[in-house]
Amino acid sequence: MNPASLSSALSPRDPRSSLRTLVLYYMQALREEVVLLSTRIAKMGNLLQTTVQYDQSWKARCM
């Protein structure tokens, strides 16, 4: 978040507008966190799947 934008959002001109702006900033930050978290989870899932597939193929070769 841009600090200049935050200070303008906190200006006492219109409290409802300031609150709306802060809520929008919060929602945007939350959305970005959700995207980052879901990307992280997807990468972990891919790593787990690859590990399981490797383990299964290794066991098949040993039999």
pLDDT digits (tens, 9 = 90+) for 30-59: 888 888 889 999 999 998 888 888 888 888
How is residue 60 annotated by DSSP?
H
Q: Is the pTM of this model over 0.85?
A: no
pLDDT digits (tens, 9 = 90+) for 5-35: 555 555 556 777 888 888 899 999 988 888 8
Please choose, from the candidates 30, 33, 28, 31, the residue with its C-alpha nearest in 3D space to the C-alpha of residue 5: 28
The answer to whether residues 22 and 9 touch, using CB atoms and an 8 Å cutoff, is yes
Where would I find the H helices in the chain?
3-9, 15-62
